[in-house]
A = this chain, B = another copy of it.
Amino acid sequence: MHVDELPTPCAVVDLDVLKRNVRTMADRLKALGVTLRPHVKTHKCLEIAALQREAGARGFTVSTLGEAVDLAEAGFTDLTWAFPLILNRLPEVRRIAERATLRLLVDSPEAIDALESAVLPPGPPGGAAGVECHVWLEVDSGHHRSGVDPGSAVAVELARRLHDAERLVFDGILTHGGHSYRGKNREELLAAAREERRVMADFAKLLMSLGVEVRGVSVGSTPTMSVVEDLDGVTEARPGNYVFHDGMMCSMGACSTADVALTVLSSVVSSQPGAEHSVIDAGALSLSKDPGLDWVEPASFGRVYRDDGSGEIEPDFWVEALSQEHGIVNRSLPVGSRLRILPNHSCLVGPNFDAFQVVEGERVVDRWSIRGLGRSGGR
């Protein structure tokens, strides 16, 4: 099938660009001497996880237990749930831990209390005898969302509790350099990346000096991992967005528009005589209402690619408004015209669709399911 025959709206993945992105990040992190544990929240797709494993990924990162269930069922059995433990989800954690090594994330005494009082089963064959539960301590390396302040007494205290707990395996310290999303160019991304590494390496050293063994130091975000030049003291990285990239990554200088593997294919459904806009069939449930980076001009919900295969976007052409299924673009075009849209935030696009339409050039070569259970944090 030719891409022009695809019903719209749909989520299109360019296989060549995807494979290049998967390979580039894997090679980068290998050269920097750390393990790649990619975050699947961006794609929620088993075929892409398999490509990442082929490229060298060791273990995966999930944002929801739904993603963990799907991956475990498909034989991906070394998983980190990189979200602060939801205390009321321990029964599900227990079930998943019966078939996979599920590594949890905590940053509070309440979460450690809950884990210590929960009875978790031993890990799969090959795990240490009597292993109950793998746990990372989340550290705030500058994002100030979650994670302990590495300069605080409580950070050391929680690390020591995890290390000393008989029924917990302390995997180490973990951070998400989410403050890199405030960066406006490669230099600012690099500064965030250096801070992320430095804070974590220093905290690991501090803990070691206090007798708290730190087996792993996990960092990661696509912006920081795209530019970082030194990961000394770090053991693994967890970028996710890099498989697709998106408009935000382009604006930050983490990639070019030709490096974006996920686009939304849309068509014009209404265009009135005299109007300066057209209505397209990609609305908030295709593109998401993510406004992108607040300093990018013009503010838009997506940019439109040139139709010449150059990988460049059209100047002065964007999605200016969204309702549930309607999108508004700032040009008047004939009904039936097809547009390929660069979304602001690819992580919020995939979950809206049932599948990715996979293309090689202009040819549709596959259809990859987006896992249902991974759609939301809930059930």
Residues of A bordering B, CB below 8 Å? 5-11, 41, 63-64, 83-89, 92, 107-108, 110-111, 114, 138, 140, 144-149, 152, 154, 178, 267, 269-275, 279, 281-286, 288-291, 323-326, 328, 334-336, 347-348, 351-355, 372-373, 375-379
Contacts and interface: CB of A to CB of B under 8 A. Distances in A.
B270 A89 contact: no
A260 B323 CA distance: 21
B291 A289 contact: yes
Nearest to A65: B7
Given A353-B378, A354-B375, A108 B270 contact: yes
B377 A355 contact: no
Number of copies: 2
A291 B294 CA distance: 14
Contacts of A279: 84, 145-146
30 contacts: A7-B89, A7-B92, A7-B379, A8-B88, A8-B377, A9-B376, A9-B377, A41-B325, A84-B270, A84-B279, A86-B267, A86-B281, A87-B269, A87-B336, A108-B271, A110-B334, A110-B335, A110-B336, A145-B326, A146-B270, A146-B326, A147-B272, A285-B348, A285-B376, A289-B289, A291-B291, A325-B377, A352-B376, A353-B378, A355-B379
Contact of A85 (B110, B146, B269, B379): B269
Contacts of A288: 284, 288-289
A111 B279 CA distance: 13
B355 A8 contact: no
A281 B145 CA distance: 12
Chain B CB within 10 Å — which of A92, A145, A335 has the most?
A335
A221 to B, nearest CB: 11
A354 B379 contact: yes
A270 B147 contact: yes
A324 B149 CA distance: 22
A335 B267 CA distance: 46
Chain B CB within 10 Å — which of A108, A289, A325 has the most?
A325
Nearest to A282: B377
Given A41-B325, A324-B63, A378-B11, A335 B270 contact: no
Q: Which 4 A-B pairs have CB atoms at the shortest separation, nearest pair first?
A: A146-B270, A84-B269, A110-B335, A289-B289
Nearest to A90: B7
